[in-house]
Amino acid sequence: MADRAQPIGAGPGIGAAAIVAALILGSLAAVALRAEPGTGLGPADWQAVRFTLMQAALSAAISVALAVPVARALARRRFAGRSALITLLGAPFILPVIVAVLGLLTVFGRAGWVSQALGAAGLEPLRIYGLHGVVLAHVFFNLPLATRLILQGWQEIPAERFRLAAHLGADAGAIWRLLEAPMLARSVPAALAVVFAICLTSFAVALTLGGGPRATTVELAIYQAFRFDFDLGRAALLACIQIALTVLAAGLALRAAPGGGFGAGLDRPLRRWDAQSGLLRAQDGAAITLAALFLLLPLAAIAVNGLAGVTSLPASVFRAAGTSIVIAAASTATLLVLAVPMAASIAMARRTGWIELAGLLGLAVSPLVIGTGLFIVVYPFADPFALALPVTALVNAISALPFALRILVPRARAVLGDFGRLGLSLNMGGLPFRRLVLLPRMRPQIGFAAGLGAALSMGDLGVIALFADPEVATLPLQIYRLMGAYRMEAAAGAALLLLALSMLAFWIFDRGGRWHAEV
Amino acid sequence: MLRFEKAVILNGDFTVRANLALERGARVAVIGPSGAGKTTLLEAIAGFRPLEAGRLVWDGRDITADPPGARPVAMLFQDGNLFPHLTLAQNAGLGLRPDLRLSAEQKERVKAALARVGLEGLEDRRPGALSGGQQSRAALARVLLQDRPLLLLDEPFAALGPALKAEMLDLVADLAAETGATLLMISHDPDDARRIADQAVLVAEGVAHPPRPTTDLLDNPPPVLRAYLGEG
């Protein structure tokens, strides 16, 4: 349907995209202009670059290597709780990093469950701080993501291929060579690149489990240049390096994007006839059980430890929780004001346009870099520390924008495709079409996007760490401070509260979107 | 009178040429092989496809450049004629005011239109709660309220069974007679064409031919139509 008219104008989307592009590119420009290359990179900076690349590469390799058997098991087995487990694999996306870190400390820390078991057997306790801990936390977050990405590869093999393979008498090994290995050859590099890119910009994990000269990432170095030395020039220089690393990772991810290859099927329900031997069943069962334990144990630890601390939380935690709720609400509102018009405009365009690129910019630039840029821009005119909360809400909204667009654009495209002509022939005009058709029909997706945005903002420990003075804290930052003061019981209680608030925020919006939705 | 003046309609990489006129109040079937451009012809009248050359004139007024909603056209598509999240009253009411800010008098008219097509008492239902035939009736109620002089049907009843389809076509013919609308309907079924259309436009090999009496065209089909009708 080439040259077809559309019922709504692209104006609001163009405006929103222009604001986003100006914000991100403006802070990039500020960083680039402020950077002081005079002194160059010191040995500590090079060490940070090396550590950043190494931990990201290790995290990606381990996450994906473990994800393949788990995805394979999920692809060829049907069992009670399977779909719940696959849903659970999506949960780490909205799980606040600081909560997961506390859970991992409880299980894998020096005084944790595993160390206690080792001690009982007369062995040394685990050491979690440093490279081990950073990689462990990254695997915790990215094993589920990698599993879902690779499982998707399995699901894209049409059921007809498996039927034909079974008809030809292919066993598990033959199916591996015939169908699964070629699929993995495409989907594994893509998964590796995505996890690598995510770990490159991870800040909160390095802040809590890394540190010290041997375990500092570039993002952490930016933060330290800010907070400890207040050396804006060096922070900006490090931010430039971070941008270069992110561009490198984005290039890898784009190059590794998987293409189709198995052709289309008729969407028959998938049945597998292979891999019925006891050994293979046991192997798949073990992969699924271990993965589920690895994901669930730290969450259980939060619940167990948090319940003890949640009754005696200091007042500062509740103040911080209030702040977090306000920020999450403001960030979600900002997100929707930007994302919904942009999604409509992208859906109307026939080719990839600059609006779509503006929406992806948030992925290419880490929140800490945007924060650094905004700080540099604001600093000559106003006290950046006084603006900590609005800036946090804004940066949270911008970093959630790419995900929101992924959710909204396909639906907007479908609504315009199904009802665009009818709206035009009824002469509805832009506003009535938005009010009566587009927004009501997109409501479930808008709710889902808002839920993700709210949960991400609620759990974010990034820009706020740069901007906050001691009087101000969001709940994640307050937990970090409690950990720093070795008040682990209060930290665990606050973490349980944060977990509940994040899940609640997601649930309210997602549920609100689907409530009485007629789709 | 609707007139295509040396019009060339572009649809991707193929074109449909039309140089023809339809009398006001005529009932015209559009017939021809699949993929010949029947839908393209209707979409050009409704304003979804621009003309590459020529003009489209309604009652002496050039409507070539008018946007879809400003044309004297009510159209029923193959599917997607109702918004599933709106009630029947709202769906039909869109024919009066596309922003649905209806006065009490207009709401009465909506009710009357739904009653006219046999959907009395179902005003607050949504399309999903109705049968296929009832959904078609609801769409026709909206067409009635739109009250446009040109009614275009792009096989909206193709998914209905034969008896129900005939019933719908009779209802369409009645409504067109009541409002004096000019009717253009795409048809794959010669019996449908004979049933309600006195004239037929043949669309074949990139050309929409001027209308001829339906019985003439079907009794003495040109070779391209004969191949399509399967009368060898």
Residues of chain A with pLDDT > 70: what percent? Answer: 92
Residue that wins the pLDDT comparison between A286 and A350: A286
According to the model, what pLDDT value does residue A516 have?
65
Tell how many helices (H) and how many strands (E) occur in chain A. 22, 0
Asked if residue A307 belongs to a domain, the reply is no
Give me the CATH number covering residue A344.
1.10.3720.10
- Between B70, B81, B100, which is nearest A422 by CB? B81
Asked if residue A304 belongs to a domain, the reply is no
Same-domain pairing of B133 and B34: no
- Between A427, A435, A437, which is nearest B83 by CB? A437
A221 pLDDT higher than 70: yes
According to the model, what pLDDT value does residue A162 have?
73
Asked if residue A4 belongs to a domain, the reply is no
Query: How sure is the predictor about A268, in pLDDT bands with cuts at 50, 70 and 90?
Result: very low
Q: Measure the CA–CA gap between A339 and A97, rounded to whole angstroms.
A: 25
Same-domain pairing of A29 and A174: no
Which amino acid would we find at residue A118? Answer: L
A271 pLDDT higher than 80: no
Same-domain pairing of A147 and A195: yes
Same-domain pairing of A108 and A230: yes
Domain encompassing residue A462: 11-34+312-519
Report CB contact under 8 Å: B70, A2. no
Same-domain pairing of A142 and A235: yes
For A27-36, A100-109, A271-280, B115-124, which range has the lowest pLDDT when averaged over its residues? A271-280
According to the model, what pLDDT value does residue A386 have?
83
Q: For B101, which DSSP code?
A: -
Same-domain pairing of A348 and A435: yes
DSSP A233-245: HHHHHHHHHHHHH
Assigned token pair, A79: 């069992």
Which amino acid would we find at residue A268? Answer: R
Query: How sure is the predictor about A1, in pLDDT bands with cuts at 50, 70 and 90?
Result: very low
ipTM beyond cut 0.90: no
Same-domain pairing of B103 and B60: no
Task: Give the CA-trace dihedral at A193, A195, A198, A201, to 10 degrees.
Answer: -80
Q: For B168, which DSSP code?
A: H
Report CB contact under 8 Å: A5, B146. no
Asked if residue A239 belongs to a domain, the reply is yes
Asked if residue A379 belongs to a domain, the reply is yes
Report, as an integer, the average pLDDT of A2-9. Answer: 64
> Which backbone phi and psi does A88 adopt, to 5 degrees?
-60, -30
* Nearest residue of B to residue A3, measured between CA atoms: B49
Report CB contact under 8 Å: B86, A427. no
For A36-45, A433-442, B193-202, which range has the lowest pLDDT when averaged over its residues? A36-45
pLDDT in tens, A104-130: 998 998 888 888 888 888 888 888 888
Same-domain pairing of A335 and A291: no
Query: Which of B97, B115, B146 represents a domain boundary (last residue)?
Result: B146
Same-domain pairing of B139 and B24: no
A447 pLDDT higher than 90: yes
Report CB contact under 8 Å: A427, B94. no
Chain B residues closer than 8 Å to A519 by CB? 84-85
Same-domain pairing of B13 and B125: no
Query: How sure is the predictor about A169, in pLDDT bands with cuts at 50, 70 and 90?
Result: low
Same-domain pairing of B100 and B186: no
Q: Find all residues with CB under 8 Å of A112, minimum gap 6, and list them.
A: A105, A106, A126, A128
pLDDT in tens, A369-402: 888 888 888 888 888 888 888 999 999 999 899 8
pLDDT in tens, B5-43: 999 998 878 899 999 999 999 999 999 888 889 999 998
B84 pLDDT higher than 80: yes
Residue that wins the pLDDT comparison between A363 and A140: A140
Same-domain pairing of B53 and B113: no
Asked if residue A233 belongs to a domain, the reply is yes
Å between A518 CA and nearest CA of chain B: 5
Domain encompassing residue B134: 83-146
Same-domain pairing of A354 and A318: yes
Asked if residue B139 belongs to a domain, the reply is yes
Q: Find all residues with CB under 8 Å of A80, minimum gap 6, and list them.
A: none
Report CB contact under 8 Å: B68, A5. yes
According to the model, what pLDDT value does residue A197 have?
87
Contact yes or no for B46/B74 (Cβ under 8 A): no
For chains A and B, CB pairs below 8 A equal: 76
Same-domain pairing of B55 and B103: no
Asked if residue B77 belongs to a domain, the reply is no
Same-domain pairing of B141 and B174: no
For A271-280, A292-301, B188-197, which range has the lowest pLDDT when averaged over its residues? A271-280
Asked if residue B34 belongs to a domain, the reply is yes
Query: How sure is the predictor about A2, in pLDDT bands with cuts at 50, 70 and 90?
Result: very low
pLDDT in tens, B204-228: 989 999 999 999 999 988 888 888 8
Q: Find all residues with CB under 8 Å of A273, minimum gap 6, and list them.
A: A162, A166
Beta strands at B199-204 and B27-31: parallel, antiparallel or unpaired: parallel
Same-domain pairing of B104 and B219: no
According to the model, what pLDDT value does residue A258 have?
54
Report, as an integer, the average pLDDT of A485-510. Answer: 91
Same-domain pairing of A284 and A353: no
Same-domain pairing of B190 and B105: no
According to the model, what pLDDT value does residue A394 have?
93
Q: Measure the CA–CA gap between A158 and A85, rounded to whole angstroms.
A: 23
Of the candidates A463, A339, A456, the residue with the CA atom closest to the CA atom of residue A389? A463
Asked if residue A283 belongs to a domain, the reply is yes
Number of domains in chain B: 2
Residue B88: exposed, middle, or buried by beta-carbon count in 10 A (0-12, 13-18, 19+)? buried
Query: How sure is the predictor about A264, in pLDDT bands with cuts at 50, 70 and 90?
Result: very low
In this structure, the number of other CB atoms found within 10 A of the CB of residue A416 comes to 22
Assigned token pair, A312: 């005696």
Q: Measure the CA–CA gap between B58 and B72, rounded to whole angstroms.
A: 8
Report CB contact under 8 Å: B80, A437. no
Asked if residue A95 belongs to a domain, the reply is yes
A31 pLDDT higher than 50: yes
Report CB contact under 8 Å: A422, B83. yes
* Nearest residue of B to residue A436, measured between CA atoms: B99
According to the model, what pLDDT value does residue A376 have?
86
Query: How sure is the predictor about B57, in pLDDT bands with cuts at 50, 70 and 90?
Result: very high
Residue that wins the pLDDT comparison between A271 and A406: A406
Q: Measure the CA–CA gap between B205 and A365, rounded to whole angstroms.
A: 55
Query: How sure is the predictor about A64, in pLDDT bands with cuts at 50, 70 and 90?
Result: very high
Query: How sure is the predictor about A322, in pLDDT bands with cuts at 50, 70 and 90?
Result: very high
Same-domain pairing of B132 and B172: no
Query: Which of B146, B167, B188 represents a domain boundary (last residue)?
Result: B146
* Entry pTM: 0.80
According to the model, what pLDDT value does residue A168 have?
66
Number of domains in chain A: 2
Same-domain pairing of B95 and B105: yes
Query: How sure is the predictor about A266, in pLDDT bands with cuts at 50, 70 and 90?
Result: very low
What does the radius of gyration of chain A's CA atoms come to, in whole angstroms?
Answer: 24
Asked if residue B78 belongs to a domain, the reply is no
Report, as an integer, the average pLDDT of B113-136. Answer: 92
Same-domain pairing of A215 and A106: yes
Report CB contact under 8 Å: A426, B81. no
Same-domain pairing of A75 and A174: yes
Chain B residues closer than 8 Å to A435 by CB? 99
Report, as an integer, the average pLDDT of A336-346. Answer: 92
According to the model, what pLDDT value does residue A54 have?
94
pLDDT in tens, A449-474: 999 999 999 999 988 888 888 888 89
Q: Measure the CA–CA gap between A449 and A335, rounded to whole angstroms.
A: 9
According to the model, what pLDDT value does residue A50 have?
92
Asked if residue B205 belongs to a domain, the reply is yes
Tell how many helices (H) and how many strands (E) occur in chain B. 8, 11
In this structure, the number of other CB atoms found within 10 A of the CB of residue A69 comes to 18
Chain B residues closer than 8 Å to A2 by CB? 12
Same-domain pairing of A408 and A511: yes
Same-domain pairing of A475 and A394: yes
Assigned token pair, A453: 């945005």
